[in-house]
Chains A and B, each alone.
Chain A
Amino acid sequence: MKTIKGLIKKDIFNLASYKMSLLILLICMCVMGMASSSMVNYIPIIAITMVGMIALSTFSYDDISKSNTYILSLPTNKKEIVLSKYIFIIAMIIIGGILGVIITPIVIQIMNAIHPEEIIAVDFHAIFITTLGGMFGISLVEAIQIPSIYKWGAEKGRIQMFILIFALILLIVGIGYLVTKIGIGINMEMIQNFLDKFGIPILIISIIMMHYISYKVSYKIYCKKEG
């Protein structure tokens, strides 16, 4: 639908006005990743998180410009407005993932050139896992975030987002710690094989499901809202 294209264009153009700062952000990302050789494989997660947060910031732009009333006077409806946001964000998450997968090997090459004494191998498996994990994690955050932005506005949403991401990290670290503590012999190889075989389909299905449910909830909230 053309009107959805128009709504997404608006979001893209809104963000484009800050392409300089986005570029700087990207560079900072890479530098962070270069901090230590073990951190290098987490670049995809950083990439996806940054891209995800940028995508969510489009809600702030709408709030600041007070666009919502005007947009409702255009030949569109609330369904399309909410749908366009989800399409945009899913696209951004995918772009973030691809970006991570492309940048990491490049950063590794750079680091290898700078520190030829400490060659890091490009571990595609690790990159693959972190990318999957990143996309899943950020999708989860966004799926919870977007309905709350519709309910309480973008300002409150920002604080909530940081809390959510923080909580998610804690959860993962916590589970990892518990697992090692309990000493369950988690067969990393088994997990790796499992993810290799089923990782992508599971990822895709769960991302779609999360976003679908989130969309339904957001739409309902937005419909109830006046103006």
Chain B
Amino acid sequence: MENVIEVKNLHKQYNDFELKDISFTIPEGSIVGLIGENGAGKTTTIKSILNIIHAEGEVNIFGKDHKTYEKEIKKDIGVVIDDSFLSEYLNAKNINRIMKDFYEDWNEEKYFEYLKAFGLPTNKMVKDFSSGMKMKLKIATAISHNPKLLILDEPTSGLDPVVRNEILDIFRKFIEEDEKRAILISTHITTDLEHISDYIIFINKGNLVFKMPTQDLLEEYGIVKCSENDFHRIQKEDYIAYKKEKYQYEVLTENKEKFKNKYSITTIDKPTIEDIMLFYIKGGK
């Protein structure tokens, strides 16, 4: 399986923040979620990959360096950014006319099909769209030129559960159509990722904490609930972090089966991705 994106030692220095040693790959056919607190470095990472901001390190997209072949690469990428689009003063028809000039592979027919399927008006100005409609328009625009890669920054934020689900289905369909495509989704709404992502990349305070298959996080990780006495039995190498609550200790472990067999503690719950994030960020060791 080829890698659609390869990031090696990405580094970006700001006055009060540093993104460093970020390395990961996005394989073909995969949907990868990017999670982390606000200001952890998710958007910086995405903007660096797209060369919207300048960073040090190596980034290859479709096997080519992202700076040298920038224009060529971007022909095959669809991007959705939360707070930025072409213009508030255009309607869908105008957007079509403009996009035809940007993308050789712009498929006008497909674009209008998507608009129809999403229930979007063609003559209304973007500024008069609801936030859900705006997002669907951005997505329709991003997928109508047959891109090989979708990069999405907060594609479902501020949307109600019904619309969020519709949008996730759009992404699923997108990757079903062509198994060589890939999607990178940066989001706070980790519950969405649980039902769609194959891998999760977690960035915390400018560092890459892990890139794990979603199924491992949900099925092999476990949150152990135990007494203080039991907690003190547990060796450091067998857990990632712990939280001291009023009536119990909560411990995050990478392998709940192994843990169960070693310590004979059976009160182990399946974690959500949010749980795991919070343990890493707020838990002690």
Contacts and interface: CB of A to CB of B under 8 A. Distances in A.
Interface in A46-63: 61-62
Interface string B74-97: 110101010111111110001001
A73 B74 contact: yes
B210 interface: no
A180 interface: no
Nearest to A5: B101
Contact of A66 (B54, B83, B101): B83
Nearest to A18: B89
B102 interface: yes
Nearest to B72: A75
Contact of B101 (A2, A17, A69): A2
A174 interface: no
A22 to B, nearest CB: 13
B233 interface: no
Contacts of B74: 73-76
Contacts of A73: 50, 52, 74, 77, 79, 81, 151
A151 B131 CA distance: 31
Given A2-B102, A6-B98, A6-B102, A77 B70 contact: yes
A65 B52 contact: no
A65 B77 contact: no
Contacts of B71: 75-77
Contacts of B86: 10, 65, 67, 70-71
A3 B54 CA distance: 22
A23 interface: no
A3 B101 contact: yes
B272 to A, nearest CB: 31
B118 to A, nearest CB: 19
Q: Is the interface of A mostly helix, strand, loop or mixed?
A: helix
Interface centre among A2, A68, A74 (most CB of B within 10 A): A74
> What size tier do the contact residues of chain A reach?
20 to 34
B103 interface: yes
B102 A65 contact: no
Given A6-B101, A10-B98, A13-B94, A65 B70 contact: no
A6 B99 contact: yes
Nearest to A69: B84
A158 to B, nearest CB: 18
Contacts of B97: 9, 13
Given A65-B85, A65-B88, 8 more contacts: A10-B87, A13-B97, A17-B89, A64-B88, A65-B84, A67-B84, A70-B79, A73-B79
Interface of A: 2-3, 5-6, 9-10, 13-14, 17, 61-62, 64-77, 226-227
27 contacts: A2-B102, A3-B101, A5-B101, A6-B98, A6-B101, A9-B98, A13-B90, A13-B97, A17-B90, A61-B88, A62-B87, A65-B84, A65-B85, A66-B83, A66-B85, A67-B85, A69-B47, A70-B79, A70-B85, A72-B52, A73-B74, A74-B74, A74-B102, A75-B75, A76-B74, A76-B102, A226-B53
